[in-house]
Structure 1
Amino acid sequence: MSSSLRRGTLAASALVLSIASLSACAAGNSAQTLEVKPDNAATSVGDIKLQNMNVITQPDLDAKGPAVITGKLFNNGRKDQTLRAISLVGKNATVKITPASGSGQLVVPAGGSVVLGGKGNASAVLPNGREALKDGEQQKLSFDFSDTGAVNIGAFVVPAKSFFKEWGPEAPSSAPSQSASAPAQAGKPGKPGAEGSTGAPGGQQSAEGKPGAGEPSQGGQQHAGH
């Protein structure tokens, strides 16, 4: 084999190894973030990095209710930063930010990260998602951090279906059923001494060792235990 052919073979092998290494790194980064599609938006400004950002709406087009912003926030600096606000560029929409603790400000710790969306994580909710968003479009978001300032990124708007189902917003609560709201007819105490009455005076029940009025029945105790 000539020297030029050997050099060409070695160069091709090095290129294959480089591509394989990059693919492995990409898979690792995706697994460490939200386990969502690796081609989702990411950007960095100063010490702040945003990755895998999405806006997830209700699963049905005609369903009213909130939408949520999901993704991961990284702080590569030595100082904690507070996420003060998120705005939808060009839209008059309010985003409610809540930390995982349920109260206070959302702080991205120095050298750490915060996940937006999903059970037990911090949340960014748009109460009226369908009024401002359309599935399939890319919405520009602006994140306002206490030290870095504005960090802008384009996020995909997707319905809470398939892969995004677990990360989506809560479904709107349904109206109470008629049977649940109707007053109960059964269980009314019968008149003492009336024919066909199932209720007996509380004193007689207590004397026989049965629960008197105002005490939970055995059935109620079992129900509470379930």
Structure 2
Amino acid sequence: MSRSLRRGALAATALAFSIATLAACGAGNDAQTLGVRPDNAATSVDDGKVKIQNAVVITQPDLESTGPAAISATIFNNGTTDQTLESIKIDGTAKEAELKPAKGGSLTVPAGGSLVIGGKDNATAMLPSSREAVKDGNAQKVTFTLSETGDITMKTFVVPATGYFSEWGPEEVPEAPAGGGASESATPTGGASATEGATGEPTDGASESAGGHGAAEGTGTDGHGTTGEPADGASESAATH
């Protein structure tokens, strides 16, 4: 085989190998594209000792519903002292989330550990009315208060419990009545009959943690009045993945 033919064969082999490699990256159960998740809000304070990741406010899937909204997030404590989650507030409103620990658990963020908020078998943070305090599509400022670090304020996106977020939405999702209420109709014999409208029962949503859309923006203030700088960017929750 001449030198020019050998060069042509080598070039064709290299091209075929490159195409095969690219095809492998986009196919199969382990394809990287299958692992894509929505961007989520995250921030860190106290030189990374405390981090909040996967923060998002999830409203009712029905835009007409005034049912509760859920706040989902994961709080990491890389310090040496346990901390307690004291409150979560929506800035600019009088709304404060109702916090409930997981069954048999607490609202403690252990040293070297984490606290997952939202989802089945986890602590919950519920806003009584999703339409009075927040609006879908907004980047809402939310303040998390920890016993030692103090206030940590960050921007989180507000999304309805549809699509990707349906698994992490509010546990209470009211259904519209099937009928228009009770009614009576007269009969020729003077009898009357009543028809009652049916009402749906709430359905429970389940998950461990939700990822929210949007880049992180936030600042934290510790118990001594110092201000931590945010670490912006998307991140996956260690507690959930």
- Is the pair's TM-score, using the shorter chain for normalization, greater than 0.5? yes
Task: Name the SS for the 1:63 alignment partner.
Answer: coil
CA distance in 2, matches of 1:36, 1:71: 15
Correspondence list, 1:1-226, <5 A: 36-37=37-38, 39-46=39-46, 47-101=49-103, 105-169=106-170, 170-172=172-174, 178=196
Point out the structure with the larger helix share. Answer: 1
Q: CA deviation at 1:36?
A: 5.0
CA distance in 2, matches of 1:167, 1:179: 30
1:24 corresponds to which residue?
Answer: none
Output one character per residue of 1:51-72: Cα deviation in whole Å (capped at 9) or x when no partner: 1110000001101200010011
**Structure 2 runs not aligned, ≥5 long:** 1-31, 180-195, 200-241
Output one character per residue of 1:90-115: Cα deviation in whole Å (capped at 9) or x when no partner: 11112101111267x51111100111
Cα 1:89–1:180 shift into 2, 3 Å: closer
CA distance in 1, matches of 2:149, 2:120: 28
Runs of 4+ in 1 over 2 A off after TM superposition: 172-181
Larger Rg: 1
Contact 2:87 2:96 in 1 (8 A): no
RMSD: 2.5
**Structure 1 runs not aligned, ≥5 long:** 1-26, 182-226
Task: Name the SS for the 1:130 alignment partner.
Answer: helix
Q: CA deviation at 1:43?
A: 0.4
Q: TM-score, normalised by structure 2?
A: 0.56
Contact 1:64 1:172 in 2 (8 A): no
CA distance in 2, matches of 1:40, 1:149: 22
Higher relative contact order (CA 8 A, sep 6+): 2
Aligned length: 147
Contact 2:67 2:173 in 1 (8 A): yes
CA distance in 2, matches of 1:94, 1:101: 21
CA distance in 2, matches of 1:162, 1:145: 32
Q: CA deviation at 1:78?
A: 1.1
2:182 corresponds to which residue?
Answer: none
Cα 1:166–1:92 shift into 2, 3 Å: same
Cα 1:157–1:146 shift into 2, 3 Å: same
Cα 1:82–1:36 shift into 2, 3 Å: farther
Contact 1:36 1:52 in 2 (8 A): no
Q: CA deviation at 1:175?
A: 6.8
Q: TM-score, normalised by structure 1?
A: 0.59
